[in-house]
Structure 1
């Protein structure tokens, strides 16, 4: 079928604006809301690439800058409508931020703020410490992690980190309001984004034991069926401590201190106290304490093969907020990070992976953000900045190899490919702060375009945004409540692994960009998570 793929949400006036056609049309035009032709142009033939399988033609309409609604017309084929204007991403940002509110666990959602998505209190019972004969623990609160009702320390810490680093780099995020309950602080009221993040921080504090260590997760023993959260009455378990969770919490509490202390000194000081306590436990327990699910349990495991990236992040974050040199020295002790740092050019590809990864499975990139914010003139600071710039250059090169200008390769279409994209856009966003370049901005723009509809599925991967936004996330409360998904959720996206039964109905030779089905059963393609939304907040904050 002949189609015109375009960002279905919108474009900033001065941004590069491109649509992609999968058919041969020499000419195209831009039509405004009145049906008037306001721009005419010729397409450029790119050709076929391996990630989309499409023979692509590019329609560049960057000269369109006046505010308004438009669509692309080529022959008798029309695109979805889109907006051009300074506030093209305003409502999108509000909805992406508010998703965290809808995922709150504990005391329920208020109809005043949640509307038809409200629910009664859930998961308020104390949690049994699995395998230990100790009293049950109150760990009520926080955010449901994903389409399930589990709550996970490492995943939660990373989502919070994306949001707080966004504030550190782009303070205008503090001005975004998205209709959630207000929270008082010493300086008056917390900005909405800090009020929402505090919900998760308060929960993560409950996950810390008295000795400073942190439980890896709290879940029922097995995933709940597709029921409302308040109907999930199974026993909650706190599963074992890990050095992964403890290091991530040390890092994110230190980071949070740097933001919250400005608004509420006592809360900021409490966060730093908890961060230091977690770090003291890490010092007393230098060997990795990794995590594996209890036998028979099928809730999220969030395993990692090492903890040096986590310890690096913790040391870098504490060095940034305390200035104490011992943390800088500890950061350099984390192997193979120090090996990469010492050997420089020989480890270009390797360091790009280590110092520019912003996901839950490898968090050294988050430590790199603390190093960059510190700007202490150290060799490590210069090295990390260079690693980010080099990775951004690689991503720009990737974008030149396909018709969509997408900075991904075939092997990046894995479970959560949209997060892979958003992590790359974070790299480009930070690189553009370090060394502003039009090529970085254009690659970010193309990535946002892809996410919002300029892809070979012709789908916006954010609910409620775009004429053809996906509608059926793997998400228990909306399915059980027989409701359309609330707006602003990011889908996991195309995944060549096809790990669920319905996904396996796709032909095995399907092009990577087309390995997607919008169906609630497709947990390997269409689940949502807090840490798929949070990097989008970071990237959009860079565009404010």
Structure 2
């Protein structure tokens, strides 16, 4: 029986459902963050007469927000009429429902903590998929793997390849999906290390081992990949084949399906077509698998370097030997099938070698490896399914070009713009189709459509990180919302997440079907085109379809054990989701601990004793020698934001170059130090959008002419430290992250001079102010952005920059660590 949380009592009366039985409001069941996009979708078979929708606090039934419903997007799936309900501007934490007439959404939460623990929750499914020792069963399985096929030794030679993860609800194990899953887990740890907890031992059982659980899980994958690449020149592509499908059983109860006792076949990567029942697969090389191995090993080596040096060195060597195989045998290595026509028919490989080259560039021959990566990137610029209506099963794996992100992060020349443009064009192809329906959904409904949806959301996220361009944020959010219930069926696609929601309960899984074991955190395949569903072999529903009212000629989804096409969880899809959930939690954590004002950040993480020293300049630069010397002596990095005319001033250029060479952060401060908005009426703009853009572009161009790299996102502090929400939005569109100094810290008063009367603040007064704040609160400057002017009016003789050494010594004594602004606010 489905968990049912669709019935609510409102004003002590049961909600009356409209005559159209499928009229409904779909929401993200996980919830929304206060500053994030918040969209619900209303679907009906009748035109909606109401003009407004309401957000209602479930604690007291009070309407807290209303807004016009907006345009009818028309037919989508089972609905004749669909509408987007945008309540993004409402951000008060609490529990709510959305109502239109008598149509009521499920309850949802708005809070900065709504995604906390979700990524760790999905790790439960990864542990449950372990082969070898399985911590969920507390028993071992598949302990006899395996015997070789196609290897340069006699067929049926035994080789130890015990371990890894079962691919899905069957127990096959594929190198491609395992390497991709391993990579995503490693990347999740690298990019969001504070998201994950340490509650498990390395074997997956309860306990702590001082390594976060996501890294334990990634190492489980790495250890198996090492076995599948046992020596130079040897690489195996899969363990088991579709003879596995002859019967459902718990893995420790595995039976003899292969004719060699409990051993399973392990297929060697020979770069040639291999058995596929009456057919052969279309393998043409090894690079698609070798590239995935190499990138996982290289990233693993970098991460484990400070944890286990010997292990890291081993991974590094294996990354090189796997990469060499990819170079020697370009082409794709498809999977093998014996009984059925269904395989992972991968058709691209240069994306895998691009990723391997980009990751390896961190360790070896950086320039040449980046050149290699770029050449591979040009051969696979836009993942072919983006914007298309269909693709073969796993044809363009791993669904997006991961290498573009890693390469763009490393490049500092014009090639970076080219790579980012590839991402942008692919996203825009989807956007041009998605924007025409209320769900903003244009992912092909092929097998594993949820995997494509998650991967595409990650590409949108990576594009946003590389550029600070939020143009496609609504599309990115729509993909995330789709996975957790904002879809025609109104169900989360993740088993047990959220625990109170409508989630799969009868997946195509032996664990649930035979033993009623939960498969917490498993991402199911997701909807397929109705035309595909009707032509699949062996599909049979065993229970009444609770989503019958929401099936359509477009696509179907069934929470039924018998539907292996839409309701089977996959290991690699879940691993990708773990990365996406970690990204969501990390962003929400910033909302929790960062401080914002008028669209700009004014304080970093308030839980960390970290500080950024920021220096600005337009006209005066008399402090440059002292500041540069002090930072060098203290071995500290700071952040400098200069106007275009300051950068162009030849007398300042030698010092600017010295600061840049010393790896301080250099950023823009507007070209002509414009006052953007009125001092007394903050909402009153004094510049046009065109003037703002032209001025900023001049500032950035001047930096580039001074050979100072402009990288995006580019941090930017506004002139006069004065701005409003419109300026923040305009900045965002240019890829600029607007920030300002932390309010209450009076170091910025160093611009004053005695002739200004009571406004003047001496350096001694400013230092004492810092000490007074610290005495009142030991964490007064956690995440603080401290601004000092690089030079001041000659009438001020008492220069604060001459006391920079004292400021640094005092704050370090109080336990604060100094960061560049990009590190403080990342």
- Report the TM-score, using the length of structure 2 for normalisation: 0.58
1:417 aligns with 2:449: yes
1:474 aligns with 2:508: yes
Relative to structure 1, is the Cα distance of residues 482 and 292 closer, same or farther in structure 2, using a 3 angstrom cutoff? closer
1:121 aligns with 2:153: no
Query: Which residue in 1 is equivalent to 2:180?
Result: 158
Q: 1:286 aligns with which of 325, 329, 338?
A: 329
Query: Which residue in 1 is equivalent to 2:561?
Result: 520
Relative to structure 1, is the Cα distance of residues 154 and 166 closer, same or farther in structure 2, using a 3 angstrom cutoff? same
Distance 1:382 1:503 in 2: 50
1:86 aligns with 2:115: no
State the Cα distance separating 1:299 from its structure 2 match.
Answer: 9.9
Q: 1:70 aligns with which of 86, 89, 96?
A: 96
Residue by residue, what CA displacement relative to the aligned partner does 1:407-449 show, whole Å, maximum 9, x if unpaired? x15xx11111111111210111001101123333332222221
Q: 2:405 aligns with which of 369, 394, 400?
A: 369
Distance 1:52 1:238 in 2: 45
Q: 1:192 aligns with which of 205, 213, 227?
A: 213
State the Cα distance separating 1:199 from its structure 2 match.
Answer: 0.5
Q: Does the residue aligned with 2:54 lie in a helix, a strand or coil?
A: strand
Distance 1:105 1:247 in 2: 24
State the Cα distance separating 1:478 from its structure 2 match.
Answer: 2.3
* Unpaired stretches in structure 1, ≥5 consecutive residues: 342-347
Residue by residue, what CA displacement relative to the aligned partner does 1:368-392 show, whole Å, maximum 9, x if unpaired? 22212323x2444332122112333
Distance 1:223 1:340 in 2: 34
For the 8 Å contact 1:490–1:528, the answer to whether it is kept is yes
Q: Which one is further off, 469-478 or 515-524?
A: 469-478
Relative to structure 1, is the Cα distance of residues 220 and 393 closer, same or farther in structure 2, using a 3 angstrom cutoff? closer
Query: Which residue in 1 is equivalent to 2:160?
Result: 138
For the 8 Å contact 2:145–2:159, the answer to whether it is kept is yes
For the 8 Å contact 2:119–2:578, the answer to whether it is kept is yes
1:265 aligns with 2:309: yes
Q: 2:354 aligns with which of 312, 315, 321?
A: 312
For the 8 Å contact 1:251–1:318, the answer to whether it is kept is yes
State the Cα distance separating 1:521 from its structure 2 match.
Answer: 1.5
1:428 aligns with 2:448: no
Query: Which residue in 2 is equivalent to 1:344?
Result: none
Pairwise CA RMSD: 3.0
Q: 1:274 aligns with which of 306, 318, 327?
A: 318
Residue by residue, what CA displacement relative to the aligned partner does 1:178-206 show, whole Å, maximum 9, x if unpaired? 7332589xxx7222211111001101100
Relative to structure 1, is the Cα distance of residues 300 and 321 closer, same or farther in structure 2, using a 3 angstrom cutoff? farther
* Unpaired stretches in structure 2, ≥5 consecutive residues: 1-20, 257-262, 272-285, 587-826
What does 1:89-108 correspond to in 2, within 5 Å? Answer: 89-108=115-134
Q: 2:523 aligns with which of 469, 490, 502?
A: 490
1:532 aligns with 2:573: yes
Distance 2:315 2:96 in 1: 48
Residue by residue, what CA displacement relative to the aligned partner does 1:94-141 show, whole Å, maximum 9, x if unpaired? 2123321121111121xxxx4xxx352100113011253464111111
Query: Which residue in 1 is equivalent to 2:754?
Result: none
Q: Does the residue aligned with 2:72 lie in a helix, a strand or coil?
A: strand
State the Cα distance separating 1:293 from its structure 2 match.
Answer: 2.0
1:457 aligns with 2:502: no
For the 8 Å contact 1:240–1:291, the answer to whether it is kept is no
For the 8 Å contact 1:51–1:402, the answer to whether it is kept is no
For the 8 Å contact 1:10–1:88, the answer to whether it is kept is yes
Q: Does the residue aligned with 1:520 lie in a helix, a strand or coil?
A: coil
State the Cα distance separating 1:454 from its structure 2 match.
Answer: 1.1
- Report the TM-score, using the length of structure 1 for normalisation: 0.85
For the 8 Å contact 2:189–2:215, the answer to whether it is kept is no
Q: 2:72 aligns with which of 38, 46, 55?
A: 46
Higher relative CO (Cα under 8 Å, sequence separation at least 6) belongs to 1
Q: Does the residue aligned with 1:47 lie in a helix, a strand or coil?
A: coil
Distance 2:52 2:242 in 1: 59
Q: Which one is further off, 227-236 or 285-294?
A: 285-294
For the 8 Å contact 2:241–2:336, the answer to whether it is kept is no
Distance 1:175 1:458 in 2: 28
